[in-house]
Structure 1
Amino acid sequence: MARRPDKPVYSFIRKGNGLFPEMDYDLRALDGVANGQRVRIDIKEWRNLDRLKAYWSMLHDVVAATGANGLTAERLHEVAKLQNGCVDVVLLPNGTPIAIPASIALDRMSEPEFVAFFNKVEEWLAKTYGYVPEQRRAA
């Protein structure tokens, strides 16, 4: 199940040196904020959904073409995170550190971090399963 953000996310578009609400929903976020009032914002780029779709398509393609040692695309995703450094290290009660797959969710990984992760996974899939992206096959 997708994790809901603790706070609503609003979208603003930069025009010159100003930020303008993208939709009425975003405009309502400014209700109660007086003109000239100082506010805090966190600037984050939106995730490129086409790239995210390409990532999952790539995983499904590898599973369909190679069987991926019996893994599903979802399990291959978990293995890819472990093999490519997308991990959180936790300590077991006895003090032993172990790596568990980290999240690539929008609020956990920036778009530039996801681009780097995508490229590492693509390279790892090529070495591990012989995966060749469609655009390279066509060339």
Structure 2
Amino acid sequence: MAKRERPAYAFIRRGNSLVPEMDFDARALDGVANGQRVKVDVSEFRSAPRLRAYWAMLHDVVTATECAPSAERLHEAMKLELGIVDHVQVKGFKVAVPASIAFDRMTESEMVEYFNLAQRWLAETYGYVPEDRSAA
């Protein structure tokens, strides 16, 4: 059976307090008594615009260079080249498989580092330099 995913609730730090960002987040506290201890997993939200920019960049490179059959295949190959891998044992051999960059697998700071590394690699490998979309 698949593990049931819990929604992510957003709270904003104000001094030493956490304040719900929206009514949806505040409702997460329904049933919690004032003064009651709760477990909190503190992590930064990942940037959806950065992830969209990453995929747009890969699509641009594939369109311009035909270096891979799709952005998804370039993504997998690039992760192998950059060492973004998990190791698994297959018949006694250690094999590298591309690791995930999903929101629940990579922190925002790790994604920023990976995004910058990917841009450098694409520039060195394919001469890709992103156009400055703000200049238009």
Q: Report the TM-score when normalising by structure 1.
A: 0.87
Residue 59 of structure 1 is matched in structure 2 by 58
Counting only pairs closer than 5 Å after superposition, residues 107-126 of structure 1 correspond to structure 2 as 107-126=104-123
| Deviation of 1:6 (Å) | 2.8
Counting only pairs closer than 5 Å after superposition, residues 92-103 of structure 1 correspond to structure 2 as 92=90, 94-103=91-100
Which runs of 5 or more structure 2 residues have no equivalent in the other structure?
none
Residue 48 of structure 2 is matched in structure 1 by 49
Q: Report the TM-score when normalising by structure 2.
A: 0.89
Which structure is richer in relative contact order (CA contacts within 8 A, separation 6 or more)?
Answer: 1
Give the aligned CA root-mean-square deviation in angstroms: 1.8
Residue 82 of structure 1 is matched in structure 2 by 80
Inter-CA distance 114–4: structure 2 relative to 1 (3 Å threshold) = farther
Structure 1, residues 49-98: CA drift from partner, whole Å, max 9, x if none?
22111111110110111111x42011111111111121111111x22110
Q: In the aligned structure 2, how far is the partner of 1:83 from the partner of 1:33? A: 48
Q: In the aligned structure 1, how far is the partner of 2:74 from the partner of 2:80? A: 10
Of 118, 129, 132, which residue of structure 1 is paired with 2:129?
A: 132
Which runs of 5 or more structure 1 residues have no equivalent in the other structure?
none
Residue 7 of structure 2 is matched in structure 1 by 8
Q: Kindly, what percent of the aligned residue pairs are identical?
A: 60
